[in-house]
Structure 1
């Protein structure tokens, strides 16, 4: 989570540097109960974002949504995305952004709930696909991801975790495509399906 990158984004959005917010975000992503949803996850998403930035209709808003999307992460909470989205929206409004701009960032973060029944616009599709790139990484990287997620839910009895995790992973396989956009399907789809099937079999 590069501070200079944050300052540059604040500048192009017409905001103050807001280094206090950066520090709070960095501290949040450094919480001890996090093993996957860390600053490294944000850095990885920003790297993927840089590769597809030209596909975004509002790239600055999409980048800000990436910074905030897992800012609130409590393993037993069902409102992490909502709480993170509200924080991002409030931050934008406090910096003088229009309601419509703030709402779009809020909506981008809420897209990471990965609700299969929601129809996403272009930038929300990008947001979701970038968030799911981990599923299509090489097997050693994916396997480490699974281990880190389990650590974040280490207090959940294994038989419960196993059932819930299988349900979630199977939900991805039930779709014709895991990824919305052709770029991500071509680059990650096959690996993602292979990784998910292997993970289900080893749970």
Structure 2
């Protein structure tokens, strides 16, 4: 399955960037296959691209959104590196050599940086599509969400449990405090309620405050 998924991603990359860019696509797929990754993997990239396909009509520059998906986790280091900034810089140095227009390169890099906080402006259609695709996992069913949370924990295996729980709870709480998790109408209708229930349940598990989860959250 892994080889098949790699081939599918390479096919998608060459359809986007052209056959001459195949070696860059191979490097990107290799990056998403690094052994320390448990969630930010080729499976995550493929899932994001599938959601972007579903939300394609909401984007203004679909090529930039797809380039940003390929690059958004190209650098993933859990030891204090600003992964979004490093990934954006990789896009800025890689894409011009492929003949990608400067405006598309700039938009791609902007979108990659946006995934650091998932706060697109109300009129940022490209940012809305990319961020919605990145956060769609939050609306997974119970078993898939548990697997996602466990995979994130595994990526930070070297972090003591107390510190991880505190940091993870802070990240999830910041998301939960947003008025809307999803910015496109399609994603909001499809994912918002389930994602909020999952967030509430995980925050409660991390903090031990099970009063966070209400009957409404679980419905």
TM-score, length basis structure 2? 0.86
Alignment match, 1:6? 13
Answer yes or no: is 1:108 the counterpart of 2:111: yes
Among 108, 132, 137, the alignment partner of 2:135 is 132
**Structure 1 unaligned regions, length at least 5:** none
Cα distance, 1:31 vs. partner? Answer: 0.8
Provide the C-alpha distance between the structure 1 equivalents of 2:117 and 2:148, rounded to a whole number of angstroms. Answer: 18
Answer yes or no: is 1:119 the counterpart of 2:121: yes
**Structure 2 unaligned regions, length at least 5:** 1-5, 207-219
Alignment match, 2:205? 202
Change (3 A) 1:155 1:170: same
Provide the C-alpha distance between the structure 1 equivalents of 2:137 and 2:83, rounded to a whole number of angstroms. Answer: 19
Are the equivalent residues in 2 in contact too, given 1:114–1:128 (CA < 8 A)? no
Cα distance, 1:139 vs. partner? Answer: 1.5
- The number of aligned residues is 198
Per-residue CA shift, 1:100-128, capped at 9, x if unaligned? 22110000111101154x63611011111
Provide the C-alpha distance between the structure 1 equivalents of 2:101 and 2:12, rounded to a whole number of angstroms. Answer: 23
Aligned-residue CA RMSD in angstroms?
1.4
Alignment match, 2:184? 181
Among 166, 170, 174, the alignment partner of 1:171 is 174
Provide the C-alpha distance between the structure 1 equivalents of 2:17 and 2:67, rounded to a whole number of angstroms. Answer: 9
Secondary structure of the residue aligned to 1:77 is coil
Alignment match, 2:216? none
Change (3 A) 1:154 1:198: same
